Chain A
Amino acid sequence: MLTYEPGETVVHDLDPRSKLAVQIGFAATALAHTAPRALLGLSVVTAVVLALARVPVVRTLYAYRFALVILALGPLVAAATLGPPWIDLEAGLATALASYRVLLILLVSAAYVRTTPVRESRAAIQRTVPGKPGQLLGIGVALVFRFLPVVQSDLRTIRDASAARLGTERSARERATTIGLLGLSRTFDRADRLSLALRARCFSWNPTLPALAFARRDAPTLGVAVALLLTAFL
Protein backbone atom coordinates (compact mmCIF):
# COMPACT_ATOMS: atom_id res chain seq x y z
CA MET A 1 0.00 0.00 0.00
CA LEU A 2 1.24 3.45 -0.90
CA THR A 3 1.03 5.94 1.96
CA TYR A 4 2.79 8.95 3.41
CA GLU A 5 6.11 8.26 5.04
CA PRO A 6 8.03 10.86 7.03
CA GLY A 7 11.35 11.74 5.46
CA GLU A 8 13.97 14.36 4.77
CA THR A 9 13.78 14.71 1.00
CA VAL A 10 13.41 18.10 -0.70
CA VAL A 11 9.98 17.01 -1.86
CA HIS A 12 8.87 16.51 1.76
CA ASP A 13 9.82 20.13 2.47
CA LEU A 14 7.80 21.62 -0.38
CA ASP A 15 4.44 23.27 0.21
CA PRO A 16 1.67 20.80 -0.70
CA ARG A 17 0.14 23.39 -3.02
CA SER A 18 3.30 23.52 -5.19
CA LYS A 19 3.29 19.73 -5.35
CA LEU A 20 -0.35 19.69 -6.37
CA ALA A 21 0.41 22.28 -9.06
CA VAL A 22 3.19 20.11 -10.50
CA GLN A 23 0.88 17.11 -10.62
CA ILE A 24 -1.81 19.07 -12.40
CA GLY A 25 0.68 20.51 -14.88
CA PHE A 26 2.16 17.10 -15.53
CA ALA A 27 -1.22 15.40 -15.97
CA ALA A 28 -2.40 18.14 -18.34
CA THR A 29 0.56 17.82 -20.65
CA ALA A 30 0.59 14.01 -20.48
CA LEU A 31 -3.07 13.90 -21.46
CA ALA A 32 -2.33 16.18 -24.41
CA HIS A 33 0.57 14.19 -25.87
CA THR A 34 1.22 10.62 -26.97
CA ALA A 35 4.08 11.20 -29.41
CA PRO A 36 7.15 9.09 -28.54
CA ARG A 37 9.35 12.17 -28.17
CA ALA A 38 6.95 13.82 -25.75
CA LEU A 39 6.72 10.60 -23.76
CA LEU A 40 10.50 10.45 -23.57
CA GLY A 41 10.57 13.95 -22.07
CA LEU A 42 7.79 13.07 -19.62
CA SER A 43 9.68 9.90 -18.62
CA VAL A 44 12.71 12.00 -17.74
CA VAL A 45 10.58 14.34 -15.61
CA THR A 46 9.00 11.33 -13.90
CA ALA A 47 12.36 9.77 -13.17
CA VAL A 48 13.62 13.02 -11.63
CA VAL A 49 10.50 13.39 -9.47
CA LEU A 50 10.71 9.77 -8.27
CA ALA A 51 14.40 10.11 -7.45
CA LEU A 52 13.96 13.40 -5.58
CA ALA A 53 11.09 11.98 -3.51
CA ARG A 54 12.82 8.59 -3.11
CA VAL A 55 9.71 6.71 -4.21
CA PRO A 56 10.16 2.91 -4.14
CA VAL A 57 9.18 2.06 -7.73
CA VAL A 58 8.32 -1.62 -7.37
CA ARG A 59 6.09 -1.08 -4.35
CA THR A 60 4.37 1.78 -6.12
CA LEU A 61 3.72 -0.30 -9.22
CA TYR A 62 2.23 -2.98 -6.99
CA ALA A 63 -0.02 -0.40 -5.32
CA TYR A 64 -1.38 0.54 -8.75
CA ARG A 65 -1.72 -3.08 -9.92
CA PHE A 66 -5.45 -2.74 -10.67
CA ALA A 67 -4.75 0.10 -13.06
CA LEU A 68 -1.77 -1.74 -14.54
CA VAL A 69 -3.96 -4.70 -15.53
CA ILE A 70 -6.17 -2.43 -17.62
CA LEU A 71 -3.17 -0.53 -19.00
CA ALA A 72 -1.58 -3.83 -20.10
CA LEU A 73 -4.83 -5.28 -21.40
CA GLY A 74 -5.67 -2.17 -23.43
CA PRO A 75 -3.00 -2.55 -26.15
CA LEU A 76 -3.83 -6.26 -26.57
CA VAL A 77 -7.52 -5.57 -27.04
CA ALA A 78 -6.73 -2.71 -29.42
CA ALA A 79 -4.39 -4.84 -31.50
CA ALA A 80 -6.80 -7.77 -31.79
CA THR A 81 -9.05 -7.61 -34.86
CA LEU A 82 -11.91 -9.81 -35.99
CA GLY A 83 -10.82 -11.36 -39.25
CA PRO A 84 -7.52 -11.33 -41.12
CA PRO A 85 -4.87 -10.21 -40.48
CA TRP A 86 -6.15 -10.72 -36.88
CA ILE A 87 -3.60 -8.34 -35.45
CA ASP A 88 -3.54 -4.58 -36.04
CA LEU A 89 -0.12 -3.55 -34.75
CA GLU A 90 -0.65 0.12 -35.39
CA ALA A 91 -3.76 0.33 -33.20
CA GLY A 92 -2.01 -1.69 -30.52
CA LEU A 93 0.97 0.64 -30.52
CA ALA A 94 -1.22 3.75 -30.29
CA THR A 95 -2.95 2.34 -27.21
CA ALA A 96 0.35 1.21 -25.72
CA LEU A 97 1.70 4.77 -25.91
CA ALA A 98 -1.53 6.16 -24.49
CA SER A 99 -1.38 3.65 -21.65
CA TYR A 100 2.24 4.46 -20.91
CA ARG A 101 1.50 8.13 -20.24
CA VAL A 102 -1.17 7.09 -17.72
CA LEU A 103 1.46 5.04 -15.92
CA LEU A 104 3.70 8.13 -15.75
CA ILE A 105 0.85 10.22 -14.30
CA LEU A 106 0.26 7.61 -11.60
CA LEU A 107 3.95 7.50 -10.69
CA VAL A 108 4.18 11.29 -10.36
CA SER A 109 1.14 11.37 -8.09
CA ALA A 110 2.74 8.62 -5.99
CA ALA A 111 5.51 11.08 -5.16
CA TYR A 112 2.93 13.43 -3.66
CA VAL A 113 1.24 10.66 -1.66
CA ARG A 114 4.53 9.47 -0.28
CA THR A 115 5.81 12.88 0.83
CA THR A 116 2.70 14.72 2.02
CA PRO A 117 0.98 14.09 5.37
CA VAL A 118 -2.80 14.33 5.38
CA ARG A 119 -2.81 17.34 7.71
CA GLU A 120 -0.83 19.34 5.11
CA SER A 121 -3.19 18.29 2.33
CA ARG A 122 -6.09 19.33 4.51
CA ALA A 123 -4.48 22.72 5.12
CA ALA A 124 -3.90 23.10 1.39
CA ILE A 125 -7.56 22.35 0.66
CA GLN A 126 -8.85 24.78 3.29
CA ARG A 127 -6.53 27.51 2.07
CA THR A 128 -7.17 26.98 -1.63
CA VAL A 129 -10.89 26.20 -1.91
CA PRO A 130 -12.73 29.32 -0.76
CA GLY A 131 -15.54 29.63 1.78
CA LYS A 132 -17.85 26.96 3.07
CA PRO A 133 -17.01 24.29 0.45
CA GLY A 134 -13.34 24.57 1.41
CA GLN A 135 -14.12 24.14 5.10
CA LEU A 136 -16.38 21.10 4.53
CA LEU A 137 -13.88 19.53 2.13
CA GLY A 138 -10.93 20.07 4.49
CA ILE A 139 -12.67 18.79 7.64
CA GLY A 140 -14.36 16.03 5.62
CA VAL A 141 -11.04 14.70 4.37
CA ALA A 142 -9.66 14.80 7.92
CA LEU A 143 -12.70 12.80 9.08
CA VAL A 144 -12.22 10.17 6.37
CA PHE A 145 -8.60 9.80 7.49
CA ARG A 146 -9.62 9.57 11.16
CA PHE A 147 -12.47 7.08 10.67
CA LEU A 148 -11.00 4.83 7.96
CA PRO A 149 -9.43 2.38 10.45
CA VAL A 150 -12.59 2.47 12.61
CA VAL A 151 -14.93 1.65 9.71
CA GLN A 152 -12.52 -0.96 8.34
CA SER A 153 -12.60 -2.76 11.68
CA ASP A 154 -16.43 -2.55 11.72
CA LEU A 155 -16.51 -4.19 8.30
CA ARG A 156 -14.15 -6.95 9.44
CA THR A 157 -16.43 -7.65 12.40
CA ILE A 158 -19.48 -7.80 10.13
CA ARG A 159 -17.82 -10.12 7.63
CA ASP A 160 -16.45 -12.41 10.35
CA ALA A 161 -19.85 -12.61 12.01
CA SER A 162 -21.68 -13.35 8.78
CA ALA A 163 -19.06 -15.90 7.74
CA ALA A 164 -19.49 -17.59 11.15
CA ARG A 165 -23.19 -18.00 10.39
CA LEU A 166 -22.36 -19.91 7.18
CA GLY A 167 -22.35 -16.59 5.37
CA THR A 168 -19.93 -17.78 2.73
CA GLU A 169 -22.51 -20.22 1.41
CA ARG A 170 -25.20 -17.66 0.98
CA SER A 171 -25.84 -15.98 -2.35
CA ALA A 172 -23.73 -13.04 -3.41
CA ARG A 173 -26.82 -10.82 -3.33
CA GLU A 174 -27.53 -11.70 0.28
CA ARG A 175 -23.94 -11.06 1.26
CA ALA A 176 -23.92 -7.68 -0.46
CA THR A 177 -27.20 -6.79 1.25
CA THR A 178 -25.91 -7.84 4.67
CA ILE A 179 -22.65 -5.92 4.37
CA GLY A 180 -24.46 -2.89 3.00
CA LEU A 181 -27.17 -2.84 5.64
CA LEU A 182 -25.03 -3.55 8.69
CA GLY A 183 -22.13 -1.43 7.48
CA LEU A 184 -24.41 1.52 6.83
CA SER A 185 -26.35 1.33 10.08
CA ARG A 186 -23.17 1.14 12.17
CA THR A 187 -21.59 3.94 10.21
CA PHE A 188 -24.62 6.20 10.57
CA ASP A 189 -24.73 5.51 14.34
CA ARG A 190 -21.14 6.68 14.55
CA ALA A 191 -21.91 9.71 12.39
CA ASP A 192 -24.81 10.72 14.63
CA ARG A 193 -22.58 10.60 17.72
CA LEU A 194 -19.83 12.45 15.86
CA SER A 195 -22.23 15.22 14.89
CA LEU A 196 -23.03 15.87 18.58
CA ALA A 197 -19.33 16.10 19.38
CA LEU A 198 -18.74 18.45 16.43
CA ARG A 199 -21.51 20.75 17.64
CA ALA A 200 -20.32 20.66 21.27
CA ARG A 201 -16.89 21.72 20.05
CA CYS A 202 -18.25 24.74 18.16
CA PHE A 203 -17.76 23.43 14.61
CA SER A 204 -17.72 26.71 12.70
CA TRP A 205 -17.49 28.03 9.17
CA ASN A 206 -14.63 30.39 10.00
CA PRO A 207 -11.98 28.64 12.12
CA THR A 208 -8.32 29.50 12.40
CA LEU A 209 -6.81 27.75 9.39
CA PRO A 210 -3.94 25.29 9.82
CA ALA A 211 -0.54 26.89 9.29
CA LEU A 212 0.93 26.66 5.81
CA ALA A 213 3.36 29.00 4.07
CA PHE A 214 5.18 29.06 0.75
CA ALA A 215 8.95 29.21 1.10
CA ARG A 216 11.62 30.34 -1.35
CA ARG A 217 12.18 26.76 -2.56
CA ASP A 218 8.55 26.62 -3.74
CA ALA A 219 9.21 29.26 -6.43
CA PRO A 220 11.16 26.99 -8.83
CA THR A 221 8.63 24.20 -8.21
CA LEU A 222 5.76 26.46 -9.19
CA GLY A 223 7.82 27.51 -12.22
CA VAL A 224 8.09 23.86 -13.27
CA ALA A 225 4.35 23.44 -12.77
CA VAL A 226 3.58 26.40 -15.05
CA ALA A 227 6.09 25.22 -17.66
CA LEU A 228 4.51 21.75 -17.71
CA LEU A 229 1.06 23.24 -18.05
CA LEU A 230 2.17 25.41 -20.98
CA THR A 231 3.64 22.44 -22.84
CA ALA A 232 0.14 20.96 -22.85
CA PHE A 233 -0.70 23.55 -25.53
CA LEU A 234 2.29 22.79 -27.77
Chain B
Amino acid sequence: MLEFRSVSFGFDDVGVLEDVSLSIPDGEFVVLAGANGSGKTTLLRHCNGLLSPDEGTVLVDGTSVEDDVIGARTSVGMVFQHPRDQFVAATVGDDVAFGPANLGLGREEIDRRVAEALGAVNLRGREDERIDRLSGGEQSRVAIAGALAMEPTHLVLDEPFTGLDEPARRSVVGRLEALAADGTGILLATHDLRDVLGLADRVIAMADGRVVVDDRPDRALEELDGLPVRVPRARADLEERC
Protein backbone atom coordinates (compact mmCIF):
# COMPACT_ATOMS: atom_id res chain seq x y z
CA MET B 1 0.00 0.00 0.00
CA LEU B 2 1.26 3.43 -1.02
CA GLU B 3 -0.21 6.34 0.92
CA PHE B 4 0.12 10.11 0.67
CA ARG B 5 -1.30 11.99 3.66
CA SER B 6 -1.72 15.75 3.08
CA VAL B 7 1.62 16.00 1.33
CA SER B 8 2.89 19.43 0.30
CA PHE B 9 6.22 20.15 -1.27
CA GLY B 10 7.55 23.60 -2.06
CA PHE B 11 10.03 23.63 -4.85
CA ASP B 12 11.53 21.36 -7.41
CA ASP B 13 12.41 22.06 -11.01
CA VAL B 14 9.83 19.46 -12.02
CA GLY B 15 6.88 20.93 -10.07
CA VAL B 16 5.30 21.46 -6.65
CA LEU B 17 2.74 19.50 -4.59
CA GLU B 18 -0.16 21.03 -2.71
CA ASP B 19 -1.97 19.00 -0.07
CA VAL B 20 -1.98 15.68 -1.92
CA SER B 21 -3.77 12.75 -0.28
CA LEU B 22 -3.92 9.40 -2.04
CA SER B 23 -3.82 5.74 -1.34
CA ILE B 24 -2.89 3.07 -3.82
CA PRO B 25 -3.50 -0.54 -2.76
CA ASP B 26 -1.14 -3.36 -3.79
CA GLY B 27 -1.80 -4.77 -7.23
CA GLU B 28 -3.57 -1.70 -8.60
CA PHE B 29 -2.66 -0.31 -12.06
CA VAL B 30 -2.79 3.47 -11.83
CA VAL B 31 -2.20 5.90 -14.67
CA LEU B 32 -1.01 9.32 -13.55
CA ALA B 33 -1.83 11.99 -16.12
CA GLY B 34 -0.94 15.63 -16.32
CA ALA B 35 1.01 18.16 -18.34
CA ASN B 36 4.71 18.86 -17.84
CA GLY B 37 5.22 20.75 -14.59
CA SER B 38 1.90 19.57 -13.13
CA GLY B 39 3.73 17.80 -10.28
CA LYS B 40 3.66 14.22 -11.55
CA THR B 41 7.40 13.70 -11.32
CA THR B 42 7.55 15.43 -7.94
CA LEU B 43 4.82 13.10 -6.66
CA LEU B 44 6.61 9.99 -7.92
CA ARG B 45 9.91 11.00 -6.34
CA HIS B 46 8.22 11.08 -2.96
CA CYS B 47 7.29 7.38 -3.22
CA ASN B 48 10.82 6.19 -2.43
CA GLY B 49 12.30 9.15 -0.60
CA LEU B 50 14.18 10.80 -3.48
CA LEU B 51 12.29 13.88 -2.30
CA SER B 52 10.93 14.43 1.22
CA PRO B 53 7.69 16.31 1.87
CA ASP B 54 7.70 19.76 3.49
CA GLU B 55 4.41 18.85 5.14
CA GLY B 56 2.51 15.59 5.48
CA THR B 57 3.71 12.00 5.28
CA VAL B 58 4.29 9.36 2.62
CA LEU B 59 3.84 5.78 3.81
CA VAL B 60 4.79 2.50 2.18
CA ASP B 61 2.99 -0.47 3.76
CA GLY B 62 2.18 1.65 6.78
CA THR B 63 5.75 2.81 7.49
CA SER B 64 6.83 6.38 6.83
CA VAL B 65 9.32 6.55 3.96
CA GLU B 66 11.60 8.75 6.02
CA ASP B 67 11.78 6.12 8.76
CA ASP B 68 12.79 3.34 6.38
CA VAL B 69 14.26 4.65 3.13
CA ILE B 70 15.80 1.32 2.20
CA GLY B 71 12.48 -0.44 2.74
CA ALA B 72 10.73 2.13 0.54
CA ARG B 73 13.34 1.80 -2.20
CA THR B 74 13.02 -1.98 -2.28
CA SER B 75 9.21 -1.99 -2.08
CA VAL B 76 8.85 0.72 -4.72
CA GLY B 77 10.89 0.08 -7.86
CA MET B 78 11.43 3.20 -9.96
CA VAL B 79 12.10 3.65 -13.66
CA PHE B 80 12.88 7.11 -15.00
CA GLN B 81 12.78 8.81 -18.37
CA HIS B 82 15.94 8.38 -20.49
CA PRO B 83 16.87 4.74 -19.76
CA ARG B 84 20.32 5.39 -21.26
CA ASP B 85 21.26 7.47 -18.24
CA GLN B 86 20.11 4.92 -15.64
CA PHE B 87 22.56 2.13 -16.33
CA VAL B 88 25.57 1.66 -14.10
CA ALA B 89 27.22 -1.24 -15.90
CA ALA B 90 28.02 -1.90 -19.53
CA THR B 91 26.41 -5.34 -19.73
CA VAL B 92 22.79 -6.33 -19.11
CA GLY B 93 23.45 -8.85 -16.32
CA ASP B 94 25.86 -6.65 -14.38
CA ASP B 95 23.45 -3.76 -14.53
CA VAL B 96 20.41 -5.67 -13.33
CA ALA B 97 22.53 -7.13 -10.49
CA PHE B 98 23.41 -3.65 -9.19
CA GLY B 99 20.34 -3.20 -6.95
CA PRO B 100 20.36 -6.66 -5.35
CA ALA B 101 24.13 -6.44 -4.78
CA ASN B 102 23.60 -3.15 -2.92
CA LEU B 103 21.22 -4.99 -0.60
CA GLY B 104 24.07 -7.32 0.31
CA LEU B 105 22.31 -10.43 -0.96
CA GLY B 106 24.24 -13.64 -1.63
CA ARG B 107 25.66 -14.39 -5.08
CA GLU B 108 23.16 -17.15 -5.83
CA GLU B 109 20.21 -15.05 -4.78
CA ILE B 110 21.48 -12.18 -6.96
CA ASP B 111 21.83 -14.48 -9.97
CA ARG B 112 18.35 -15.90 -9.39
CA ARG B 113 16.84 -12.41 -9.22
CA VAL B 114 18.67 -11.25 -12.34
CA ALA B 115 17.43 -14.26 -14.32
CA GLU B 116 13.90 -13.82 -13.04
CA ALA B 117 13.77 -10.06 -13.69
CA LEU B 118 15.12 -10.53 -17.22
CA GLY B 119 12.56 -13.25 -17.80
CA ALA B 120 9.79 -10.87 -16.77
CA VAL B 121 10.82 -8.40 -19.50
CA ASN B 122 11.42 -11.05 -22.19
CA LEU B 123 15.21 -10.74 -22.08
CA ARG B 124 16.12 -14.04 -20.46
CA GLY B 125 19.58 -15.29 -21.32
CA ARG B 126 20.84 -11.89 -22.59
CA GLU B 127 23.00 -11.21 -19.48
CA ASP B 128 26.28 -10.83 -21.33
CA GLU B 129 25.12 -8.41 -24.03
CA ARG B 130 26.35 -4.83 -24.06
CA ILE B 131 23.60 -2.37 -23.22
CA ASP B 132 24.65 0.25 -25.75
CA ARG B 133 24.10 -2.29 -28.54
CA LEU B 134 20.44 -2.88 -27.56
CA SER B 135 17.48 -1.13 -29.18
CA GLY B 136 15.62 1.65 -27.35
CA GLY B 137 12.78 -0.67 -26.37
CA GLU B 138 15.18 -3.31 -25.08
CA GLN B 139 17.02 -0.67 -23.05
CA SER B 140 13.72 0.40 -21.48
CA ARG B 141 13.02 -3.18 -20.56
CA VAL B 142 16.48 -3.62 -19.02
CA ALA B 143 15.78 -0.52 -16.91
CA ILE B 144 12.51 -2.12 -15.79
CA ALA B 145 14.34 -5.38 -15.00
CA GLY B 146 16.81 -3.38 -12.88
CA ALA B 147 13.88 -2.17 -10.76
CA LEU B 148 12.19 -5.59 -10.68
CA ALA B 149 15.35 -7.24 -9.33
CA MET B 150 14.64 -5.47 -6.03
CA GLU B 151 11.40 -7.52 -5.95
CA PRO B 152 9.18 -4.48 -5.39
CA THR B 153 5.44 -4.59 -4.67
CA HIS B 154 4.98 -1.39 -6.70
CA LEU B 155 6.63 -0.40 -9.94
CA VAL B 156 6.69 3.35 -10.58
CA LEU B 157 7.44 4.59 -14.09
CA ASP B 158 7.97 8.20 -15.12
CA GLU B 159 7.25 8.81 -18.82
CA PRO B 160 8.80 5.49 -19.88
CA PHE B 161 7.70 5.87 -23.51
CA THR B 162 9.69 9.03 -24.29
CA GLY B 163 11.75 8.51 -27.41
CA LEU B 164 10.41 5.02 -28.15
CA ASP B 165 9.05 4.11 -31.56
CA GLU B 166 5.71 2.36 -31.86
CA PRO B 167 6.85 -1.31 -31.75
CA ALA B 168 9.16 -0.58 -28.82
CA ARG B 169 6.38 1.23 -27.01
CA ARG B 170 4.06 -1.72 -27.55
CA SER B 171 6.67 -4.17 -26.26
CA VAL B 172 7.00 -2.15 -23.04
CA VAL B 173 3.23 -1.82 -22.63
CA GLY B 174 2.92 -5.60 -23.15
CA ARG B 175 5.41 -6.25 -20.35
CA LEU B 176 3.60 -3.89 -18.00
CA GLU B 177 0.36 -5.69 -18.73
CA ALA B 178 1.98 -9.04 -17.86
CA LEU B 179 3.50 -7.66 -14.65
CA ALA B 180 0.15 -6.25 -13.58
CA ALA B 181 -1.46 -9.60 -14.27
CA ASP B 182 1.09 -11.18 -11.92
CA GLY B 183 0.05 -8.80 -9.16
CA THR B 184 2.69 -6.06 -9.29
CA GLY B 185 1.15 -2.68 -8.57
CA ILE B 186 1.92 -0.16 -11.29
CA LEU B 187 1.99 3.61 -11.10
CA LEU B 188 2.59 4.97 -14.57
CA ALA B 189 3.06 8.68 -15.22
CA THR B 190 2.53 9.64 -18.83
CA HIS B 191 0.95 12.36 -20.88
CA ASP B 192 0.35 9.85 -23.64
CA LEU B 193 -2.63 7.79 -22.51
CA ARG B 194 -3.40 5.71 -25.58
CA ASP B 195 -3.54 1.96 -25.01
CA VAL B 196 -2.46 2.21 -21.35
CA LEU B 197 -5.87 3.53 -20.37
CA GLY B 198 -7.43 0.19 -21.22
CA LEU B 199 -5.06 -1.52 -18.73
CA ALA B 200 -5.65 0.90 -15.88
CA ASP B 201 -7.82 0.29 -12.84
CA ARG B 202 -7.72 3.97 -12.05
CA VAL B 203 -6.69 7.31 -13.51
CA ILE B 204 -5.28 10.15 -11.43
CA ALA B 205 -4.77 13.52 -13.08
CA MET B 206 -2.73 16.39 -11.70
CA ALA B 207 -2.65 20.11 -12.45
CA ASP B 208 -0.62 22.76 -10.60
CA GLY B 209 0.49 20.32 -7.91
CA ARG B 210 -3.00 19.13 -7.02
CA VAL B 211 -4.92 15.95 -7.74
CA VAL B 212 -7.81 17.12 -9.94
CA VAL B 213 -9.22 13.78 -11.08
CA ASP B 214 -9.12 10.39 -9.38
CA ASP B 215 -11.56 7.90 -10.86
CA ARG B 216 -12.18 4.79 -12.97
CA PRO B 217 -10.76 5.26 -16.49
CA ASP B 218 -14.12 5.55 -18.26
CA ARG B 219 -15.44 8.19 -15.87
CA ALA B 220 -12.07 9.94 -15.50
CA LEU B 221 -11.96 10.63 -19.19
CA GLU B 222 -15.09 12.77 -19.08
CA GLU B 223 -13.74 14.71 -16.12
CA LEU B 224 -10.46 15.32 -17.95
CA ASP B 225 -12.30 17.40 -20.56
CA GLY B 226 -11.73 21.07 -19.98
CA LEU B 227 -8.78 20.47 -17.65
CA PRO B 228 -5.22 21.41 -18.58
CA VAL B 229 -4.38 17.74 -19.13
CA ARG B 230 -3.37 16.59 -22.56
CA VAL B 231 -5.08 13.36 -23.57
CA PRO B 232 -4.09 12.75 -27.17
CA ARG B 233 -6.25 10.15 -28.87
CA ALA B 234 -7.18 8.64 -25.53
CA ARG B 235 -10.92 8.71 -26.02
CA ALA B 236 -10.83 6.95 -29.36
CA ASP B 237 -8.52 4.34 -27.94
CA LEU B 238 -10.72 3.62 -24.94
CA GLU B 239 -13.87 3.44 -27.02
CA GLU B 240 -12.15 0.99 -29.29
CA ARG B 241 -11.30 -1.26 -26.37
CA CYS B 242 -14.55 -1.09 -24.46
Contacts and interface: CB of A to CB of B under 8 A. Distances in A.
Interface of A: 118-119, 139, 142-143, 145-146, 149-150, 190, 193-194, 196-204, 206-211
How would you classify the secondary structure of chain A's contact residues: helix, strand, loop or mixed?
Answer: helix
Given A204-B103, A204-B104, A210-B101, 16 more contacts: A119-B89, A119-B91, A143-B88, A145-B89, A146-B87, A146-B90, A193-B80, A193-B82, A194-B85, A194-B86, A197-B88, A200-B78, A201-B88, A201-B146, A204-B102, A208-B107
B90 A196 contact: no
Contacts of A206: 104
A14 to B, nearest CB: 20
Nearest to B85: A193
B137 interface: no
A190 B147 CA distance: 19
Interface of B: 45, 48, 50, 70, 73-74, 77-78, 80-82, 84-91, 94-95, 98-107, 110, 131-132, 146-147, 150
A143 B104 CA distance: 20
B114 to A, nearest CB: 12
A3 to B, nearest CB: 12
Contact of B74 (A143, A146, A202, A207): A202
Contacts of B90: 118, 142, 145-146
Contact of B101 (A150, A190, A207): A207
A110 B70 CA distance: 42
A145 B131 CA distance: 11
Nearest to A198: B88
B86 A197 contact: yes
Nearest to B76: A200
Contacts of B98: 201
A190 B88 CA distance: 12
Nearest to B84: A150
Given A150-B84, A190-B85, A200-B78, A211 B107 contact: yes
Contacts of B107: 208, 211
Contacts of B73: 199-202
A199 B86 contact: no
A208 to B, nearest CB: 4
Contacts of A211: 107
Contacts of B88: 139, 142-143, 146, 194, 197-198, 201
A210 B103 CA distance: 13
B80 A196 contact: yes
Contacts of A146: 87-90, 95, 131-132
Contacts of B91: 119
Nearest to A197: B86
A208 B106 contact: yes
21 contacts: A118-B90, A142-B88, A142-B94, A146-B132, A193-B81, A193-B82, A193-B85, A194-B88, A197-B87, A200-B73, A201-B99, A201-B102, A201-B147, A202-B73, A202-B102, A202-B103, A204-B102, A208-B103, A208-B104, A208-B105, A209-B101
Nearest to A200: B78
B150 A201 contact: yes
A208 B101 contact: yes
Contacts of A119: 89, 91, 94
